[in-house]
A and B are shown apart, each in its own frame.
Chain A
């Protein structure tokens, strides 16, 4: 898309576009110019396209930018397989010579790098050949099969080719004939050149070098014409000595022409052979250039240029590989913000394919959770040519959100004009998670010390309530009804006392008494208590087939954990039939696993899972589940300390708790406790 619009602009402005200027100023273009300058007898224009047909280097501004629609380009590209093409361009005004374009692909290690075209001055070949034959009365010409001359040894003379000659030439054979050329009797010989050459046709409306050209396979012929007088005079002399007949003279002329045709066709054929060798060549295995003929010259030219090209392409390729394989997430847009490229790491992370985002605006990643002012700031900063970096929340392809640190830098051309923006992203999800853990930890700690302080005060105030009540009861006669009423006060105070115990457990204010225990025994012990409270509609399943699971724990605290978790599960399944499963397994926590669950470290853990088929929780509830005094139960039904206490106790045991819940399906609570072993001793 972009190539074609640049091409249109190029054609409309006769190559006076910024892109053309950019190409002309490249290192490779100046190398081409130097090379052509040093060998200007042999070479006309030299230029190179990339694998898409766009110009990348040239000695002179071409008439268009996009070459992949040209016959010579297609011939050399040969659907990615690589081929050769020699085009007969005729007279090239830019170099003032008749040229043939030799086109070859540049392929390295099976990778198509581009297509190189060298316009070769045919006159050069011809000069070499005709020098010795350019005598009065002998004329050497190069013709196309259509009959029009390409080169003549007498460039000042106008040549016409008679209908008979044309017919002869179209036979595509070697031959001879006596002729009458404008009153002069001549004998001429002709021979086709054995090489694949394409001739340009310009149908109506076609623009030379740009649009609508047609290329047809053509044959070149050499033709040598000798005035009969001269031919025969020398032959007459010969016959005097050797008694040769007239037929032999003609045979000699024919042989001479045939030989001459060979002389001309050989270098041209070699050009083609050279291009062919080059096309199949591997740049790291250069073709031999020890010969001093045209093939050698051309091979040297190709080799030198290809080497240069290879250097440039490999440095570009290294750069693009670096971008491609970078562990950073990279995205490139144009100045309007349209995405031009994103590397695999970025695509992977965001869940997209390249074709799904190219040409689109990065707005597609907006999560709606980054303030609009941030985007405004980004655009103002980068459009003024400065770097922007900051944190944004993007939307993943699956709809979830991801935290990224994004750095955007403007890319400028040599004149300082903005051409692109490059955005490098860093995944902040893990960091944000640790921040959340930190916040949670701090919250727990401050809640803990608050709860601890409250517990202390409540414990103090329970003394006057409990003790005065029981003192009054003790002094009252047994038949007094006030004893029962005061009993209610005592019961209420007992409940407060048990709540305070939970608060203290959560805030880690109760000293624990650790011992090495088999977690299976603690679970079995808790089952007796659990069965007391479970409703008959719920089945309790125990899965303890993991072998002895030794942990260093406070037995009563772990019992509290189990009773709290199961009681929450029962509440979540209230009024329904359901299943509660307590299972135990031993897990090895690796680095990846440890990253996912807060406070877990690499090592061996016992994983105690309590699974229910209850109501489950939504995300908002899950996020607050460990907060002290947070409860979803009705007023008076729960203290909001259960999960907080579980969390406090487990963290105090160097373990962690992970809750997964699906609303309407149930909840799994995994309690991780470090196993006692050589490497896990407390």
Chain B
């Protein structure tokens, strides 16, 4: 069982990811943006944060930088469905700046669960 925080501005996306993760037996909380997510992280110290990139209030890249700075052992998975500047791979940037894994939206349940497992294999 892994304690996981899902940060995404889309409620349906969060709920769907949460359903998959809970079905696998993980413990999950949700946040609708980076700022709420960081507050929750400070209270609950999750093992893993799954965060979207494009979000209002506090976007994903900034959130990843703050989390990595304040919580050394935290694992991060960045997720994105594209958007923003053409030809810029934001997930590549997220990986460079501290994300352990990345997933292109849409991804399958298997890809999601494999990804969570891989974060804790090393």
Contacts and interface: CB of A to CB of B under 8 A. Distances in A.
Which among A459, A461, A466, A652 has the highest number of chain B CB atoms within 10 Å? Answer: A459
B89 A511 contact: yes
A163 interface: no
Which among A467, A470, A497, A510 has the highest number of chain B CB atoms within 10 Å? Answer: A467
B12 interface: yes
A321 B122 CA distance: 87
B82 A462 contact: no
A471 B23 contact: yes
B86 A466 contact: no
Contacts of A458: 81
Interface stretch (B13-21, B28-36, B39-47, B67-75): B13-21
B105 to A, nearest CB: 4
Contacts of A459: 81-82, 104-106
A457 B109 contact: no
A508 B23 CA distance: 37
A474 interface: yes
Interface string A449-464: 0001101111111111
A456 B54 contact: yes
Interface string B87-122: 111001000000000001111110010000000000
B10 interface: yes
Contact of B106 (A463, A475, A511, A652): A463
Contacts, number: 83
B25 interface: no
A305 B117 CA distance: 108
B111 to A, nearest CB: 10
A456 B10 CA distance: 12
A455 B81 contact: yes
A175 to B, nearest CB: 113
B13 A463 contact: yes
Contacts of A474: 23, 109
Contacts of B15: 464
A442 to B, nearest CB: 15
Contacts of A460: 8, 10, 12-13, 81, 105-106
Contacts of A455: 81-83
A453 B86 CA distance: 11
A509 B83 contact: yes
Contacts of B17: 463, 467
Size bracket, chain B contacts: 20 to 34
A463 B16 CA distance: 7
Interface in A641-674: 652
B18 to A, nearest CB: 10
Contacts of A504: 82
Interface in A485-510: 493, 497, 504, 507-510
B27 to A, nearest CB: 17
Given A463-B17, A468-B16, A471-B20, A509 B82 contact: yes
A448 interface: yes
A455 B105 CA distance: 10
A508 B87 contact: yes
Contact of A467 (B20, B81, B82): B20
B16 to A, nearest CB: 4
A470 B81 contact: no
B106 A462 contact: yes
Which among B10, B12, B16, B112 has the highest number of chain A CB atoms within 10 Å? Answer: B16
A561 B14 CA distance: 36
A461 B84 CA distance: 17
A42 B42 CA distance: 123
Contacts of B54: 456
Contact of B83 (A453, A461, A470, A471): A453
Nearest to B110: A470
A452 B82 contact: yes
B90 to A, nearest CB: 10
B81 A464 contact: no
A467 B108 contact: yes
Contacts of B19: 467-468, 471
B13 to A, nearest CB: 5
A476 to B, nearest CB: 13
A359 to B, nearest CB: 59
Q: Which 9 A-B pairs have the closest CB atoms?
A: A459-B81, A456-B83, A462-B106, A464-B16, A464-B12, A508-B86, A459-B105, A511-B89, A456-B81
24 contacts: A448-B86, A452-B83, A456-B54, A456-B83, A457-B81, A460-B10, A460-B105, A461-B10, A462-B106, A463-B12, A463-B105, A463-B107, A464-B12, A467-B16, A467-B109, A468-B19, A470-B108, A471-B16, A471-B109, A475-B23, A493-B106, A497-B106, A508-B87, A509-B83
